[in-house]
């Protein structure tokens, strides 16, 4: 399973242009299907200099960077939650993503409802809330039989659903609803759109240079505690098409230190609160993304179910200590390698060597 982000926004906001920019990757990366899986789904590798250093140290033939899935759906029009436009089908596709990237256009274009970027973003947000209200309504129906038979659990869920409904009706996303003890499970099983974190992308271009977002949009993002970044999707897509050696001078011309898509992907990873651990085994060096707080056993299961089943322990060393030592054997001798049990909480940047009964 990989982590996924869904790109949402009004039609013509520049979603597919951003998708193209994100999926324009160097084919030089070894045999990993970093391809567009579907016209609208792709696996995007994340830059990871720690992995590159580890691969060099271990002379790995194959390097598998961390990656996230990105899903591009058709624009959401007003009424999408009621099935207008291409709405419903795509809202369905978004239920399973982990994060939303909300693209808001700053340029003028034919379909530009609302009065400025913030009000356009509000149209999309309202559709997401309306779709969630439908989901909540369906769930309320579904628990009727349990309620009738006197289930206390169903009664608790009903109270929660009503509180959630009120909150959504007030125009607020589900992620801002303070949860009481035991309510998280109720919320998670609903797969709501507005319970996902959001990263706003202001696609406002002035001669290719990202423009400052308007204050109303900044305020909207701030009030929701969602980050907002600014880029020019068209320019980013152009960068992606350039041969690697031409990128730096091109970026410099626009006063950019790096493609803004790199920044965007870093931000996605931060929002998802993922850490990376590494395995260097045989000819492959690989990075794995897991939620912060993952145990050594959980990490083993991510690599292979057999490793989790027969888990004995894991040798652990941070990537830089391993590099400093010059290899695992030397690191062991220097006492820099620890042996940890199944409940050990893996930290970002650690290299894990699992011992398991096969
Ligand atoms: N001026 C300007 N135009 C842009 C920019 N990014 C995209 N466009 C244009 O906007 C139009 C729509 O871009 P798309 O990326 O296809 O938009 P979309 O959000 O995927 O649209 P739908 O899939 O129809 O919802 C295209 O003609 C793009 O060239 C930009 O940064 N500046
Ligand atoms: Mg599109």
Question: Is 305 a member of any domain?
Answer: yes
> 231: which strand partners?
203
Provide the angle, in degrees to the nearest 10, between the axes of the packed helices 117-142 and 152-169: 160
- The rounded mean pLDDT for the chain is 89
Please say whether the dihedral angle defined by the alpha carbons of residues 224, 225, 230 and 236, taken in this order, is positive or negative. Answer: negative
Higher pLDDT, 81 or 331: 331
CB of 86 within 6 A of ligand 1: the answer is: no
Instruction: Answer yes or no: is the C-beta of 20 below 6 A from any ligand 1 atom.
Output: no
Q: What is the CATH number of the domain that holds 332?
A: 3.10.20.30
∠ Cα 182 184 189 (to 5°): 120
Atom of ligand 1 at shortest distance to CA of 13?
19
Neighbours of ion ligand 2 (CB under 5 A): 15-16
Give the pLDDT confidence score for residue 84 in this predicted structure.
61
Q: What is the pLDDT of residue 223?
A: 92
> Is residue 194 domain-resident?
no
Report the alpha-carbon distance of residue 41 to residue 35 in Å, rounded: 9
Sign of CA dihedral 340, 344, 350, 351: positive
Q: Indicate the Cα dihedral angle 188, 194, 197, 199, nearest 10°.
A: 160
CA 4 – CA 44 distance, rounded (Å): 10
CA of 15 to the centre of ligand 1 (A): 7
Report yes or no on 2 lying in a domain: no
pTM for the full predicted model: 0.90
Report in angstroms the alpha-carbon separations of 60 from 7, 128, 275: 34, 45, 22
Q: Is the pLDDT of residue 86 over 60?
A: no
Distance 109 CA to ligand 1 centre (A): 9
The pick from 7, 14, 91 for probing ligand 1's pocket by mutation, whose C-beta has the most ligand atoms within 8 angstroms, reads 14
- Counting ligand 1 atoms within 8 A of each CB, the residue from 12, 113, 231, 259 with the most, and so the one to mutate, is 12
315 within a domain of the structure (yes/no): yes
In a domain, residue 196? The reply is no
Distance, CA of 22 to CA of 31 (rounded, Å): 18
Q: Give Cα 14 to chain centroid, integer Å.
A: 19
Domain assignment present for 327: yes
| Mean pLDDT of the 126-153 span | 94
User: Which residues lie closer than 8 Å to 173 by C-beta, 6 or more apart?
Assistant: 125, 128, 129, 194, 195, 198, 224
Q: Which range marks the domain in which residue 345 is found?
A: 293-356
With respect to residue 330, please indicate whether it lies within any of the assigned structural domains.
yes
For residue 20, give the ligand 1 atom closest to its CA: 15
DSSP, residue by residue, 170-201: TT--GGGSPPPTT-HHHHHTT--STTSEEEEE
Dist. CA 138 → ligand 2 center (Å): 30
Q: What is the pLDDT of residue 142?
A: 96
Going by CA atoms, what residue is nearest to atom 5 of ligand 1?
Answer: 234
281-293: average pLDDT: 93
Nearest ligand for residue 40 CA: 2
Segment 218-224 long-range contacts (CB within 8 Å, at least 24 positions apart): 219/118, 220/118, 220/121, 220/122, 224/173, 224/175, 224/176, 224/198
Give pLDDT tens digits for 302-331.
999 999 999 999 999 999 999 999 999 999
- 107 pocket-lining for ligand 1 (C-beta < 6 Å): yes
Coil vs helix vs strand at 206: strand
* Ligand 2 midpoint to CA 76 (Å): 10
On whether the CB atoms of residues 351 and 279 are closer than 8 A, the answer is: yes
Give domain status of residue 309, yes or no.
yes
Ligand 1 centre from 28 Cα, in Å?
A: 28
Number of domains the chain is built from: 1
The residue ranking higher by pLDDT, 229 or 29, is 229
Contact (Cβ atoms closer than 8 angstroms) between residue 307 and residue 356: yes
Does residue 11's CB lie within 6 angstroms of at least one atom of ligand 1?
A: yes
Q: What angle do CA 348, 354, 358 make, to 5 degrees?
A: 150
pLDDT confidence band for 107 (50 / 70 / 90): confident
- Measured by CA distance, the residue closest to atom 12 of ligand 1 is 12
Number of the ligand closest to the Cα of 205 = 1
Angle at 100 between CA 132 and CA 87, to 5 degrees: 50
């Amino acid at each position: 399973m990989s982590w996924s982000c869904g790109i949402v926004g009004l039609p013509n906001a520049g979603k597919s242009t951003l998708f193209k920019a994100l999926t324009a990757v160097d084919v030089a990366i070894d045999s990993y299907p970093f391809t567009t899986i579907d016209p609208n789904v792709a696996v995007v590798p994340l830059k990871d200099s720690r992995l590159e250093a580890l691969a060099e140290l271990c002379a790995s033939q194959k390097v598998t960077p961390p990656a996230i899935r990105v899903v591009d759906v058709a624009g959401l029009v007003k009424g999408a939650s009621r099935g207008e436009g291409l709405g419903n089908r795509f809202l369905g596709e978004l239920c399973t993503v982990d994060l939303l990237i909300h693209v808001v256009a700053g340029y003028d274009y034919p379909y530009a409802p609302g009065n400025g970027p913030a009000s356009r973003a509000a149209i999309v947000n309202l559709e997401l809330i309306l779709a969630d209200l439908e989901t909540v309504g369906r769930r309320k129906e579904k628990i009727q039989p349990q309620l009738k038979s006197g289930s206390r659990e169903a009664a608790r869920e009903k109270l929660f659903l009503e509180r959630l409904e009120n909150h959504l009706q007030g125009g607020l996303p589900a992620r801002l609803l303070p949860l009481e003890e035991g309510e998280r499970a109720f919320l998670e099983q609903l797969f709501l759109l507005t319970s996902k974190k959001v990263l706003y992308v202001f696609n406002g271009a002035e001669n290719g240079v990202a423009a400052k977002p308007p204050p109303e949009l900044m305020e909207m993002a701030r009030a929701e505690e969602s980050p907002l970044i600014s880029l020019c999707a068209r320019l980013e897509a152009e960068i992606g098409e350039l041969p690697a050696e031409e990128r730096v001078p091109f970026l410099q011309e626009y006063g950019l230190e790096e493609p803004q898509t790199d920044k965007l992907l870093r931000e996605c990873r931060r929002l998802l609160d993922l850490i990376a651990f590494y395995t260097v085994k045989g000819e492959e060096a690989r990075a794995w993304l897991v939620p912060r707080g993952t145990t050594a056993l959980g990490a083993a299961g991510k690599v292979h179910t057999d490793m989790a089943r027969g888990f004995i322990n894991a040798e652990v060393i941070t990537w830089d200590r391993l590099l400093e030592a010059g290899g695992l054997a030397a690191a062991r001798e220097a006492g820099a390698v620890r042996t940890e049990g199944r409940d050990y909480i893996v930290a970002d940047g650690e290299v894990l060597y699992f011992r398991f009964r096969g």
